[in-house]
Every structure is written in C-alpha cells, then in structure tokens.
Amino acid sequence: KAGVTQTPRYLIKTRGQQVTLSCSPISGHRSVSWYQQTPGQGLQFLFEYFSETQRNKGNFPGRFSGRQFSNSRSEMNVSTLELGDSALYLCASTSVTGAGTEAFFGQGTRLTVV
C-alpha cells in the first residue's frame, strides 16, 4: 500500500508570492490533515478535510487555506508569503481504527521564503 505522497519536496519562494502544496493520502483514507513544523513552534495543526469539507481549523491566519478533491487528494495554499512561513509542511492521512484515530504522515514539503 502506497504511503502519503507530498509534492514538491522542496520549494523556495520570495516574500509576497503565493504557493500551493499537494498531498495524496493513503488509498481509502478520506481524511487529510495539514501541519506546520518549525524549530520554534514544533508541530502545529493547520486544518483537516474529510470528503471535501473542512471540519477543523487551527489558529493560523486566513492566508493559509486548503481544499480537498473528490479523490481525497488535498492542496494547501499560502498567499502573500512571509519569512516566518518558512517551515516543513506535513500532510497526514488519517483512518479510524479500533485503537483510535491513526495519522500517517508524508515526508513533507520544505518551504523556504526568502
């Protein structure tokens, strides 16, 4: 079974630009979550999508947005990039099992804003 695929792996953007990141979840998983990972703030929840609907949103400004397609693939968009947006952006594909809500992460997209 293929894992979570995130593209691209690395991105360099200039302040003020916008960026779109892509995530393909594990086949059969309908929930996709996004997290931002930085050395200072750790792993922080951005938002979660299930069947094309955003069900949960973290404490990030409106410049951060996302969407999910009918095939469960998801994209996140960051507009008007700031230097502080430099981070590893992680996508998690989630399934509910008897143990709990298990999240499987992709390798992430390393975004550098210059």
Partner 1 sequence: QQQVKQSPQSLIVQKGGISIINCAYENTAFDYFPWYQQFPGKGPALLIAIRPDVSEKKEGRFTISFNKSAKQFSLHIMDSQPGDSATYFCAASQSGTYKYIFGTGTRLKVLA
Query: In the complex, which residues of this chain contact partner 1 (CB under 8 A)?
Result: 4, 6, 31, 33, 35, 42-45, 48, 50, 55-56, 58, 90, 92, 94, 99-108
Smallest separation, CB 4 to partner 1 (Å): 7
Smallest separation, CB 114 to partner 1 (Å): 20
Q: Which is nearer to partner 1, 18 or 56 (CB)?
A: 56
DSSP state of 84: G
DSSP the chain: ----EEE-SEEEE-TT--EEEEEE--TT--EEEEEEEETTTEEEEEEEEETTEEEEE-S--TTEEEEE-TTS-EEEEE-S--GGG-EEEEEEEEEE-SS-EEEEE---EEEEE-
Q: Which is nearer to partner 1, 13 or 57 (CB)?
A: 57
Question: 81, 113 in Cβ contact below 8 A?
Answer: yes
Smallest separation, CB 42 to partner 1 (Å): 5
Q: Which is nearer to partner 1, 78 or 93 (CB)?
A: 93
Q: Which is nearer to partner 1, 1 or 14 (CB)?
A: 1
Smallest separation, CB 85 to partner 1 (Å): 19
